Amino acid sequence: MKKSALQLARACYAPKLPEAIKAGVRCTEGAATESVADQKEIAELFPNTYGMPVLRFEKSDEVRQYPAINVGVILSGGQAPGGHNVISGLFDGLKAMNSESRLFGFLLGPAGLIDHKYKELTADIIDEYRNTGGFDIIGSGRTKLETKAQFDSGLEILRALDIKALVIIGGDDSNTNACVLAEYYKQINAGVQVIGCPKTIDGDLKNEMIETSFGFDTACKVYGEMIGNIQRDCNSAQKYWHFIKLMGRSASHIALECALQTQPNICLVSEEVEKKQMTLDDIVTYIANIVAARAAKGNNYGVALIPEGIIEFIPAMKNLISELNDFLAHHAAEFAMVPRNEQIKYIINHISPENAAIYASLPERVARQLTLDRDPHGNVQVSLIETEKLLGEMVGRKLAQMKEAGKFVGKFSTQYHFFGYEGRCATPSNFDADYCYSLGYTASLLIGEGKTGYMSSVRNTTRPASEWIAGGVPVTMMMNMERRHGEMKPVIQKALVELDGEPFKYFAAHRDSWAHETMYVYPGPIQYFGPTEVCDQPTVTLALEQRTQCKHGERLD
C-alpha cells in the first residue's frame, strides 16, 4: 500500500519507555486500597478483586523466566490516537518476556469476543501499524460487555485459543465492564486475567492514579491547530463570528484545553453552566454581550468554543431531554408514524407543559435533532445536535433586539464548525505515541505478574518519559455507585472539569481579556520531529494539573 513520506518516517519512530521498565523489573505493592466511595457496596459486589494494592514496577537486575502465554486484546468505544501503540507495546512486552507468547485481536470491539471473531496479531501486522492513528488494526465497537451470557460466550473462544489474559482498551464504561469481567472470571476460576487501559479523547477517565486518558493529547492538538487557523482567518478578514463545537460527550475537557491552547474570545464550560444553573437565555445573553462589546470597538468578529455535551448541562434542557428520552423509549413506533410536518406539534402535545414551552422555543432544526434516534443506551446523540447553530441563531435574534434598543451597533455574520472526528484518528503525538506504548508494555508486565482487575497506569507524565512511573491500579479503587437506567450500578467515576481545578481557574482568570481584546495563540500542527519543547510537551491541562511549566510556561504564571 502506498505510504506518505511522514508515514514512512513515523514507522521508524521508537517510542520512549520509562527507564524503570526497559529491562528487568520487580513489582512492588502498596497498601490495600478502597473504592473512592460506597466502599461497602463495591466490596460486596467485587469480593475477589476489591481492596488489592496499587502496584509499581521498579528496575531489577534479577533475570526472570516467564512462561509463554496467549493474550487477547479488544479496542472498545470511540477511536483515540495511540491505540495501535498500546497494542504494539503490549506485543513487544509479551515477546520480551517470552518470544513464544502470542497476541490475538478481537474484531470490531467487544462484539468480536462474544461472536468469536478474531485475528492473530503477528510481528508483520504490528509493524504496519506502529505509531499510526486509528483503530483499524482490529477495529472498534460500542457493544457493551455486561451479561453473564456474553462473558460465557467469550470464555469459550478464550479457551479454544488457550488465551490466559485479556486486555480491554476503553473508556470509563468499558473499564468498568472489564472489572466486572475480571471479577466473574476469578469467581468461576476461569484462569483468565483481565487488564484495562485508559482510552478516550474526552479526557474524562482520569483520577489520582490515571493522570490522563490516551488520545486526549493528540486530539486536542489537532483541534488546537484548526482553531488557531480559524483565528488567523478571522483576524485577517475581520468579518465573521466562528462558532466551533468540540467533541466531548459529557465533560468539557477538550473545549477547555483548546481554549488554554488558543485563547479564543469565548469558551463555554458545561460544568460551570450546570453549577451556575444557567438557562439557555443566560448563555445567549453572555455571548451576545461579548459580541456587542467587541462590536462597540469596531471588532465584528470573534471565535466561540462550545463543548459538545453542553445541552445536557443546561438544567432546563436536561429535563426536556430526559423527558424526551423516556417518552420516545415508550412511544417510538407511534412517533415513527407521525408525518414529518406534524412531529414537533405531536411532541409539544405529549410532554409536560414546562418542557413543551422550552421545546416550542427552539429553532425547528434543533427541535427535530432532539427527537432523532437514541444511542444503544437510550441517550440522545449529542454529536448530532447542532448546538453551535442553535446558539449562533439565538445570539443573532438577541442582537437584533439589542440593536432595536440601541445596545448593539455592529454586524453579526456567522460561520459554524464541528471538530470531533477530525482528531480521533490522527497520527499520535510523541506524547501519545510514548504514553500508549508504555501503557501497553505495562499491561504486559501486569500479565506477567499474574494480575487481574487492574488498569495499566503510567504516571509522572509531565516529566520526561524516562522518569515516568509504571504500575497498576485496581479498577475497584476508581469505582462508586451511580444510578444508571433506574438501577444503582458500580461504575468508574467520570472525571468532569473541576471548577476549583487549576486548568479552569487559569481560564477563568484570563477569559475576560481574551473576550474583549484579541489575544489569539496559534499552536500550529503537531510536530513529530524536532526540539523537545516543540514536540514532546503534554497538554496545558496536564501541565496545570501537575503545576509544572509547559510550552506556554511564561503564560501560566
Catalytic residues: 202
Q: Tell me 128's DSSP state.
A: H
The 10 Å CB-count burial string (b at 16+, else e) for 11-22 is eebebbbbebbe
Q: Which of 217, 308, 323, 388 binds ligand FBP (CB under 6 A)?
A: 308
Q: Which of 15, 72, 77, 224 binds ligand FBP (CB under 6 A)?
A: 77
Instruction: Identify which range of 66-74, 161-169, 243-251, 255-263 contacts ligand FBP by CB under 6 A.
Output: 243-251
Q: In angstroms, rounded to a whole number, what is the distance separating the alpha carbons of residues 456 and 55?
A: 10
Which residues make Cβ contacts (< 8 Å) with residue 426, sequence separation at least 6? 81, 133, 218, 219, 222, 526
Q: Is 248 in the site for ligand FBP (CB under 6 A)?
A: yes
Q: Is 452 in the site for ligand FBP (CB under 6 A)?
A: no
Q: How far is the CB of 183 from ligand FBP (least distance, A)?
A: 22
Q: Is 177 in the site for ligand FBP (CB under 6 A)?
A: no
Could you tell me the CA-to-CA distances from 524 to 8, 164, 233, 421, 549 in Å, in that order? Answer: 22, 45, 13, 19, 20
Locate 256 and state its grid cell: 477547555
The 10 Å CB-count burial string (b at 16+, else e) for 459-477 is bebbeebeebbbbbbbbbb
Instruction: Identify which range of 72-80, 106-114, 189-197, 275-283 contacts ligand FBP by CB under 6 A.
Output: 72-80
Three-class secondary structure of residue 417 per DSSP: strand
Q: In angstroms, rounded to a whole number, what is the distance separating the alpha carbons of residues 96 and 93?
A: 5
Q: How far is the CB of 72 from ligand FBP (least distance, A)?
A: 20
Instruction: Identify which range of 185-193, 246-254, 280-288, 427-435 contacts ligand FBP by CB under 6 A.
Output: 246-254
Query: Is 475 in contact with 492 (CB distance < 8 Å)?
Result: yes
Total number of residues shown for the chain: 557
CB closer to ligand FBP out of 171 and 228: 171
Q: Is 247 in the site for ligand FBP (CB under 6 A)?
A: yes
Q: How far is the CB of 46 from ligand FBP (least distance, A)?
A: 23
Tally: H helices and E strands in the chain: 21, 15
Q: Which of 171, 198, 490, 523 binds ligand FBP (CB under 6 A)?
A: 171
Which residues make Cβ contacts (< 8 Å) with residue 357, sequence separation at least 6? none
Q: Is 288 in the site for ligand FBP (CB under 6 A)?
A: no
Q: Is 198 in the site for ligand FBP (CB under 6 A)?
A: no
Q: Is 81 in the site for ligand FBP (CB under 6 A)?
A: no
Sketch the per residue contact string, 31 through 70, with ligand FBP: x for CB under 6 A, - otherwise: ----------------------------------------
Whose cell is 460465557? That residue is 152
CB closer to ligand FBP out of 182 and 247: 247
Instruction: Identify which range of 20-28, 196-204, 463-471, 530-538 contacts ligand FBP by CB under 6 A.
Output: 196-204
Binding interface with ligand FBP (CB under 6 A): 77-78, 80, 171, 200-202, 247-249, 308, 382-383, 424
